[in-house]
C-alpha cells in the first residue's frame, strides 16, 4: 500500500461547536498524520472556487454560503491509503446514512452541515492541497 496525502477540512458547523480537537483525534487514531494545518475563514469567492465542481448543483449557493459562514480548519493528512481511509473515518455525506462510529454519524448536523470534507481521489487531493497550501507549508 502506498503512502498518500489527502486534503481534509473541518467545516464551520464543527468549529462553531468546538469539535476541532475531537475530529483531529478521530483522524489521528485512524493512523492519519497531520502534515499541514491552519484555521482560516473562507470568503464566499474562495468557497465557490473550492466547490466549483458542484456549481450546477441545486445546493451550490447554500453550500458556499455555509462554507463561508465561519472558520474552517484546513489540513493535509498523510498515511497508508490516506484518501480512502479519511473518507472511511468521515462516513457518508448524509449523516443519516453514515456508519456507526464515523465522524459524520457522531457529529454532523445535516447533509449540508456535515462537519468534514475529504478529497475523493488522487487528482482532487492534489488540487485541493494546492488550493490552500504552498509546498513549503506541508511538513511530513
Ligand atoms: P462529500 O462531501 O461527501 O464528498 P459531495 O462531494 O457529494 O459530498 O458534496 C459536497 C458537499 O455538498 C457535501 O459535503 C455537502 C453538500 N451537499 C451534497 N449533497 C447535498 C444535498 N443534497 N443537499 C445539501 N447539501 C448537499
Ligand atoms: Mg466531495
| ipTM score of complex | 0.98
Ligand 1: residue of 9, 47, 52, 59 to mutate (most ligand atoms within 8 A of CB) is 59
Strand pairing class (3-10; 33-40): unpaired
Ligand 2 centroid to residue 118 C-alpha, Å:
7
Clarify whether 117 is annotated catalytic. yes
- Ligand closest in space to the Cα of 11: 1
Put residue 45 in one of left, alpha, beta given phi > 0 → left and psi -120 to 50 → alpha: alpha
pLDDT for the residue numbered 77 = 99
94 is in an annotated binding site: no
What is the rounded distance in angstroms from the CA atom of residue 120 to the CA atom of residue 8? 10
- 52 CA → ligand 2 middle, Å: 11
For 3-137, which CATH superfamily applies?
Nucleoside diphosphate kinase-like domain (3.30.70.141)
pLDDT of residue 134: 98
Residues of the chain with pLDDT under 70: 1
pLDDT at 45: 98
Q: Cell numbers of 91, please?
A: 462516513
Amino acid at each position: 500500500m502506498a503512502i498518500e496525502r489527502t486534503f481534509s477540512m473541518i467545516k464551520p458547523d464543527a468549529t462553531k461547536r468546538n469539535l476541532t480537537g475531537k475530529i483531529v483525534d478521530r483522524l489521528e487514531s485512524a493512523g492519519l498524520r497531520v502534515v499541514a494545518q491552519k484555521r482560516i475563514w473562507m470568503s464566499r469567492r474562495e468557497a465557490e472556487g473550492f466547490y466549483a465542481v458542484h456549481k450546477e448543483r441545486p445546493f451550490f449557493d447554500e453550500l458556499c454560503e455555509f462554507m463561508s459562514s465561519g472558520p474552517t480548519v484546513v489540513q493535509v493528512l498523510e498515511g497508508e491509503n490516506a484518501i480512502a481511509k479519511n473518507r472511511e473515518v468521515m462516513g457518508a455525506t448524509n449523516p443519516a446514512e453514515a456508519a456507526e462510529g464515523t465522524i459524520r454519524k457522531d457529529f454532523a448536523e445535516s447533509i449540508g452541515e456535515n462537519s468534514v470534507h475529504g478529497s475523493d481521489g488522487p487528482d482532487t487531493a492534489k488540487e485541493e492541497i494546492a488550493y490552500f497550501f504552498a509546498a513549503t507549508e506541508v511538513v511530513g
